[in-house]
Structure 1
Amino acid sequence: MNLGLIAQAVGMFAVTNIDDIVLLALFFSGASRPWPVVVGQYLGFAGILALSIIGALGAGLLPPAVLPYLGLLPLLLGLRAGWKAWRDRDEPEASVSGPSLLTVAAVTFANGGDNIGVYVPVFATAGRAGLVVFSVVFLVLVGVWCALGRFFATRPAVARGLSRWGHVVLPVVLIAIGVLILVEGLT
């Protein structure tokens, strides 16, 4: 087992997914059950991982010029969530079901354009054994990220803040991520 490669994978995952902890905490704070968030996160990340591996193997499924437009997905989801929060501002929050599995997966995938841009060149030089190590480490760390997001969402002070402001913060964060992906990718 190559510990240097594992350490590189851990570091690369942490750097490219630090923003996901905030999103996961927001998703978990609004979820009545944790499983849609966890499964959605795994599905979205599996898409990122698959595209990165395909890109590294030379298939070039998505041309680099298309990646910035993935920012439209969180932008539109953020606008939709913001509209819903504004529209339902006077409604009691008793029946909130939280984000759907597909919403979490879509946001995770759309937020992964930068991940793909980092992973493809690294994967291209890692070899098949390296790809396996990166993939296993990344998939384990998705679970760790979900646990951290859930942990932050269930801390009393954080939970109170997310409960009070999460319906406002989530759309703002999604819109910001979408704009950031678009701006960074198009410049």
Structure 2
Amino acid sequence: MTIITYALILGISTSIDYFLILFLLFSQAKKPGERRTIYFGQLLASFILILLSSTLSQVANVFLADWILGLLGFVPILLGVRILFENEAETEIPDSKIGLLSIIFISLASGVDNLGIFTPYFTTLSTLETLLTAGLILLETVAICYLAEKFGSLHSISEFIEKYEKMILPTIFIILGIYILFEFGTMTYLLQLLK
């Protein structure tokens, strides 16, 4: 797969879990300015998460051996397994004025697990590939916001996402984790230890 394909899959898979939150936010936005605030807040939160993940991955690349970096592949695997077995909790958003800080905090809180997905993946990328991936993820953030805004009024779409999220999201995270384990030679190293 190409870097663009992985970036698209990564962006979509990490956005699925808060699509419903965006749907709820857009359904409460009564003024055009509030809709712009949701877009801007979501973009800022995504940028912050990408920046933190990229920084953590660069630090890890300098100080750790490749096979140790590959251990980070267990993070998305564990997140995927956790999602498979966790109870669904409804996210309630209070009916109030939609402000930029509240959007950023909601987005960061719902996307903090993305650090565990982005960081190990970014360790596999060059600086240029990281920038390309970050740009694509930010574009996907705008697209996800747009979809949540436009299709949010269609009840059948939110039901579909809610119904299949529990299968799609964990599968993508587990595959990403396995990819990271093999990309860094961690599986080979661990199997050699068992011999």
| TM-score (structure 1 length as normaliser) | 0.60
Give the fraction of aligned pairs with identical amino acids, expressed as a percent. 24
AA of the residue aligned to 1:8: Y
Q: Hey, what's the Cα distance between the residues in 1 that align with 2:146 and 2:104?
A: 17
Q: Hey, what's the Cα distance between the residues in 2 that align with 1:59 and 1:7?
A: 24
AA of the residue aligned to 2:4: I
Q: Hey, what's the Cα distance between the residues in 2 that align with 1:153 and 1:100?
A: 20
Q: Which residue matches 1:120?
A: 119
Q: Which runs of 5+ in 1 are unaligned?
A: 65-77, 86-95, 162-187
Q: CA deviation at 1:59?
A: 7.1
Q: Which residue matches 1:28?
A: 26
**Distance verdict in 2 for CA 1:102–1:5, change over 3 Å:** same
- The C-alpha deviation readout for 1:91-133, integer Å capped at 9, x for no partner, is xxxxx64x21111111111122221101111111201111011
AA of the residue aligned to 2:142: G
Q: Hey, what's the Cα distance between the residues in 2 that align with 1:115 and 1:47?
A: 11
Q: Which runs of 5+ in 2 are unaligned?
A: 62-71, 73-90, 159-195
Pairing of 1:80-91 with structure 2 (within 5 A): 81=94
Q: Which residue matches 1:107?
A: 106
Q: Which residue matches 1:143?
A: 142
Q: CA deviation at 1:79?
A: 7.6
1:19 equivalent to 2:20? Answer no
Q: Which residue matches 1:51?
A: 52
Q: Hey, what's the Cα distance between the residues in 2 that align with 1:59 and 1:126?
A: 12
Q: Which residue matches 1:181?
A: none
**1:141 counterpart SS class:** helix
- The C-alpha deviation readout for 1:26-65, integer Å capped at 9, x for no partner, is 00000122101101101111111111111111179xxx9x
| TM-score (structure 2 length as normaliser) | 0.58
Q: Which residue matches 2:129?
A: 130
AA of the residue aligned to 1:28: F
Pairing of 1:133-172 with structure 2 (within 5 A): 133-155=132-154
Q: Hey, what's the Cα distance between the residues in 2 that align with 1:30 and 1:43?
A: 20
Aligned residues: 127
